[in-house]
Structures are given as structure tokens and as C-alpha cells.
Structure 1
Amino acid sequence: MNCKSCGAHAPADARFCHYCGGQIESPSPQSPSRADIFARIKASPQYRESQSPERLGKLPTPSAAPKALFTVFSYLVAGKLALAVIAPVGFLLFVIFFFVAGGARSPQSFFLIAFVLALFLLAVMVVVGVGMSLLVKKLGGHVFSGVFKKQEELENASIEVQPAIVVAKRTHVWGGIGDSSAKTNYYATFELEDGSRHEFALWYGTMYGRIAEEDAGVLFSRVDYAADFDLVTL
């Protein structure tokens, strides 16, 4: 190193010039280029193991709870509708049985009438039950696709693994009107190896606190969601 005041040469560990007493400023370390950063990411153990079944198996997956709850709710609604149909039919059959069986001349006729009406009620229950099940399956599928279309896309989407650098983070708070609590969505913008920048919604909120701007690592994404990020120490 050279003294900036007098130009004299100084040892690498010197802080002051031996000749003029001026302060020696150590050169600041050169920041690695983007190409060098991506090369280091791709040479890291995190990137080499990113495609392994063990690592991919640790990624978060879409929860099946909303779909299960929706299915249970649909069948409960169908059950209530079926009951609304079967109850009047059952009452009507009871009235018919009361009047018809009252005129029966023998116990055999009485039980025969009861048996026929019971079979008819059972047939109505089977037809209504099967019909409601088919209706729920058909209409429920369309409704679910409309309401949970994003979840279906995530379930069917493949996982993309690529080196990336975090360049920005942001949050979006919405809701909170009346008795409902506010919800927060988390986002991060990543720079990819080709120089393009893409904003991804973060899969879970804790990931927002784990990453910082200029962090380099391996990005796991599904569609426009960042599922996980493995930090690489440069």
C-alpha cells in the first residue's frame, strides 16, 4: 500500500505512514460480481443437494384442510336438502298407511301394506341420497375449482429450483374491517441468473424474517410462490 499524502510505500498492516505520519487507508474489499455470486451459489452444497428427494420432501405443500372442510360442508348441505325431501314423503306415506291400513281386513294385509310403503320410502331415500351425492360431486367440483383455483394450481405445479439473490422485500396488510382481523401477505423480489427480477409471494410468513436484501442462495418456487430459500454463505 502507498500513503495518499506523500506516496511512500507502507507495509500491508501499517495504519500510519512512517515518513509523513499520514493515515494509511486500507483498500476496501472488492464486491464480487453478480456472475461470481451465481457461480458460487451453483458450486455450493445447498445447490448440489437442492434436487435430492430428501430436500424436496421438506418443502411445504398446500394444505388439504380447506378442501376437506369444503367437502364436509357440501355433504352436510346435501344431507339437509335430502332430509327436506324425504321428511314430507315419509309423512305422506304415514298418512296413507294410517288410512289404508285402517281398512285392512286381516293382520296379513296390514303387514303387507306396511312392507310395501316401507320399501317405497327406502327407494325414495336411495334415489334422493344418490341424486344429492352426484349433485354435490358435480356442482361441488365446479364451485371448488372457482373458489380454490389457486390452490389447485399450486398442487399441480412443479417445483422450480434456481440460484437467486434477494433484492427487495415488502408486506401487504389487508382486511381488519369490523370484527375481522387484519391479514398480512409477504413478498420478496429475487434476481435470477439471467438478470431478470421476479416478485414471489412467500409461502409462509416466517420466511420473511429469515431472508434479507442481498442474501444469495437457492430458491424453491411453485408458480408465483416462493416455497423456501436456502441461504448460501459467500
Structure 2
Amino acid sequence: MGSSFFMEFQSFNMIFFIVFGLIAIVIITGIVKTIGAGLSNHAAEQVQRSCKVVDKRTRVRGGSGDFSASTDYYITFEFEGGERKELKVKSTDFGMIVIGDRGEVHYKGTRFLEFVRVVEA
């Protein structure tokens, strides 16, 4: 009976450390990706390009049980030649920019800085 308990205890320990290790790897990978994206954006040149706003979307995360939901906002800009770039924006920018707007988008890497609308007379 004693050796059976010891075998079960060892199995539990092994499973616990494997699960703990996998969770740690996922968390560390997320942190490394976030730091890498931040460094890449910091090193990128600031770009200003004429564009047209062609799409907007949101992504809601969380919100189950006792957790609050958070919303990410994205706008797709189309440049001359048909190239498109989707950038994550603040909710205030998302509300002020309308599909069909023309103007100049300013960004650095994947970080949205501002959109300056061109008003056509």
C-alpha cells in the first residue's frame, strides 16, 4: 500500500510540474513578444502616408464570469496602389474616423500615431 501511494504522489508531482512548465512557457513567450514588438516600434521610422479609410473593426476580450471585458479597436487604411495596413487605435480615434475618410495617417512600426483628415471642398 505504501509504494502505491508513493507512485501516485510521484505521478501527481510530474503532471503538476509539466502543467506549471507549460503555463510558464506561454507567459514568458507572451512577454518576449510584447517586448520585441515595443522595441521594433521604437526603432521604426515615423511614417506619414496619404490614405483612405476602408474598414473598421472591434475585438472584445474577456467578460466571462467575474472578469471585465476589454475592447480593442482597429482601422484599415488603404494607400495608393491598393496596399492596406490595419492599425490598432484608441477608442476616441475610432469614434472620430469614418469609413470613406481621406487624409494622412501617421504611424511608427505597428503603432498608430494620428490621422489627419483632408476636407474636400
Q: Are 2:115 and 1:223 equivalent residues in the alignment?
A: no
Q: Which runs of 5+ in 2 are unaligned?
A: 1-27
In structure 2, distance between residues paired with 1:150 and 1:174: 20
Of residues 169, 182, 186, the one that matches 2:56 is 169
Q: Residue 195 of structure 1 aligns with which residue? A: 82
Q: Classify the secondary structure of the residue corresponding to 1:148.
A: helix
In structure 1, distance between residues paired with 2:66 and 2:104: 40
Q: Which runs of 5+ in 1 are unaligned?
A: 1-141
In structure 1, distance between residues paired with 2:59 and 2:77: 17
Higher helix share: 1
Q: Residue 213 of structure 1 aligns with which residue? A: 99
Cα distance change of structure 1 residues 178 and 155 upon mapping to structure 2, 3 Å threshold: farther
Q: Residue 232 of structure 1 aligns with which residue? A: 118
In structure 2, distance between residues paired with 1:177 and 1:216: 38
Deviation (angstroms), 1:195: 2.0
Q: Residue 40 of structure 2 aligns with which residue? A: 153
The count of aligned residue pairs is 92
* Equivalent residue runs for 1:1-16 within 5 Å: none
Q: Classify the secondary structure of the residue corresponding to 2:37.
A: helix
Q: Classify the secondary structure of the residue corresponding to 1:162.
A: strand
In structure 2, distance between residues paired with 1:197 and 1:209: 20
In structure 2, distance between residues paired with 1:155 and 1:181: 30
Q: Classify the secondary structure of the residue corresponding to 2:95.
A: helix
Cα distance change of structure 1 residues 209 and 153 upon mapping to structure 2, 3 Å threshold: same
Deviation (angstroms), 1:201: 1.6
Deviation (angstroms), 1:220: 0.4
More contact order relative to length (CA 8 Å, sep ≥ 6): 2
Q: Which amino acid aligns with 1:212?
A: V
Cα distance change of structure 1 residues 148 and 179 upon mapping to structure 2, 3 Å threshold: farther
Cα distance change of structure 1 residues 233 and 223 upon mapping to structure 2, 3 Å threshold: same
TM-score, scaled relative to structure 2: 0.66
What root-mean-square deviation, in Å, do the aligned CA atoms of Structure 1 and Structure 2 show? 2.2
TM-score, scaled relative to structure 1: 0.36
